Amino acid sequence: MNRIDETFAALRRAGRKGLVGYLTAGDPDPETSERNIRAALEHGVDVLELGVPYSDPTADGPTIQAASQRALAAGMTTAKSLELVKRLRRDFQTPIVLFGYANPFFRYGYARLCAEAAAAGVDGLLAVDLAFEEADELREHMAGHDLALIPLIAPTTPRERAAAILARAQGFVYYIMVTGVTGARAALAADMAAHVAALRGLTPLPVAVGFGISNGAQARRAAEAADAVVVGSALIQAAGAGRLPELVRALRDALTGTGTGGED
């Protein structure tokens, strides 16, 4: 059982839903990025998705694309992202999922990536554009390091394919509630709860819902169906505006039932 499993078990015991927060490593520069990530962890993120910047983040909308470009311009790399994890591990035991794309992971070398990620304190990997059928090589290298390969399931994923993916899934399920790219949206997908219910019939793993959640009210509604919510673009925007701790607290309060759930 790694930190992801332990965290979701603790959330279940506490009767609370989880907050999975995404921030891009190195955005807008390494020093500011680390301060922002530490602030997010200190104020209530339960699982950190640490984005490895990439020049062609095809699953991401304008906010995360821009974050990647700023980070790359500031010199952030996969190796430096792992060094950042090492520093965070000195002070935090929050689960960390390395969130990235197949190309930079492959170029780094799957064996090297998995060994160094585990040594740094990473708990899981999420390769956004790595097809299930092409993931065996990465999965083999992860197996010896207690790293979870987090699956992505979309509204358009056929039930049979979802069942095959989830049969080999670990950690938690990331359900993408909309087709398209990442980014804050004005409303949740109307069929989100039905899709999450269907996934529960296929796996005992916790289900986290993302792609569009930007405030406490949306987080609370999503958590009525899911075990956790994923927030990325809104956190990046809040960090740029100097409001990251405020937004993380509002999201956390909404998920624990102590906040107003208003438009944060």
Q: Which residues are catalytic?
A: 49, 60
Q: How far is CA 73 from CA 27, 31, 110, 137, 158, in A?
A: 9, 14, 25, 31, 39
Q: What are phi and psi of 230, to 5 degrees?
A: -110, 125
Residue 236 burial class via C-beta count within 10 angstroms: exposed 0-12, middle 13-18, buried 19 and up: buried
* Angle at CA of residue 47, ends 46 and 50, nearest 5°: 140
Strands lying side by side in the sheet with 207-210: 148-149, 124-127, 96-100, 47-51, 18-24, 228-231, 207-210, 173-176, 152-153
Between CA 95 and CA 138 the distance in angstroms is 20
Q: What are phi and psi of 145, to 5 degrees?
A: -120, 10
Residues paired with 255 in a beta bridge: none
Spell out the residues 6+ positions from residue 1 whose beta carbon is closer than 8 angstroms to its own.
Answer: 9
Would strands 18-24 and 173-176 be described as parallel, antiparallel, or unpaired?
unpaired
